[in-house]
Amino acid sequence: MRRTVPLTITFIVGTGLILSVFFPPFETVGEDFSLFFDIIAVFAFFLGGGNLLRVHGTRIQKKRRDWGYSFITVAGFFLMLAAGLFKLWNPGGITADVTAPGSLFQLMYNWVFNPLGATMYALLAFYVASASYRAFRAKNSDATILLVAAFIILLGRTPLGFYATSWIPDSFSLLQIPNLAIWVMTSPNLAGQRAIMIGIALGVVSMSLRLILGVERTHLGVEE
């Protein structure tokens, strides 16, 4: 019974969503299920917050390595939670929008969360540069093609690429580096992106069918 009920619910919901896409009379079914998804997401927020407090609370209690970062994480969690629930410093009061200008929630988002996100993305640039150096070394034919394409794209996005090939006549404009960079992005690169998207779509369809038919049961937990 513990396995049959979840598998039955998964089959009914999955089949209903498929029918809502391909058959107009079932269009409202997908809209109705989306409401249930929102309700489930609310419980997921509670579970996520509880798990965050459990993990970092244990680390703080036992004073494990770098437990100070866990303390900052928990303090920030409660501060943002209080700012959102009680709408602290909100000029419109408790009934106003939580993101109203001047509210503590909006100030924390603009002056703390956004700079932290920008810092994280800025640090990723160093990892991207390191990975690019290892990937673009012309060790074989594939790496050579990747290196040439990257070189063309980089030059095509700078004034140097324009001035270096501005002498090429318009009848051979494709050979100008800016135009060649555009061709690389709109033809070979786009073809590769579409191939990846097709592969992802086939994987999603395959996994969805496995879940609906009950073949894939890992989401139900480990068998006892």
DSSP 20-88: HHH-GGGHHHHHHHHHHHHHHHHHHHHHHHHHHHHHHHHHHHTT-TTHHHHHHHHHHHHHHHHHHHS-T
Amino acid identity, residue 91? P
> pLDDT value at position 41?
87
pTM comes to: 0.61
> pLDDT value at position 184?
94
* Distance (Å, whole) CA 155 – CA 142: 20
Confidence of residue 222 (pLDDT cuts 50, 70, 90): low
- Which residue's structure tokens are 């879940």? 211
CA dist 82 → 53, 88, 90, 182, 184 (Å) = 15, 7, 12, 49, 50
CB-CB neighbours of 210 under 10 Å: 13
> Is residue 1 within 8 Å of 198, Cβ to Cβ?
no
> Is residue 96 within 8 Å of 87, Cβ to Cβ?
yes
* Distance (Å, whole) CA 9 – CA 40: 14
Instruction: Tell me what percent of the residues of the chain surpass a pLDDT of 90.
Output: 42
Tens of pLDDT, residue by residue over 139-186, are: 788 878 888 888 898 889 889 888 989 899 988 888 899 999 999 999
* Distance (Å, whole) CA 8 – CA 14: 10
Tens of pLDDT, residue by residue over 98-146, are: 888 889 999 999 999 999 999 998 888 788 878 877 777 767 888 788 8
177, burial (CB in 10 Å: exposed 0-12, middle 13-18, buried 19+): buried
Confidence of residue 223 (pLDDT cuts 50, 70, 90): low
Both structure tokens of 179: 């135009």
Tens of pLDDT, residue by residue over 8-63, are: 988 998 898 898 888 888 888 888 888 888 888 889 889 999 999 999 999 999 99
> pLDDT value at position 183?
94
Mean pLDDT (the chain, rounded): 88
* Distance (Å, whole) CA 129 – CA 148: 16
* Distance (Å, whole) CA 161 – CA 167: 11
Give the residue among 3, 26, 73 at the shortest CA–CA distance from 219. Answer: 3
For the packed helices 114-135 and 141-156, what is the interaxial angle rounded to 10 degrees?
130
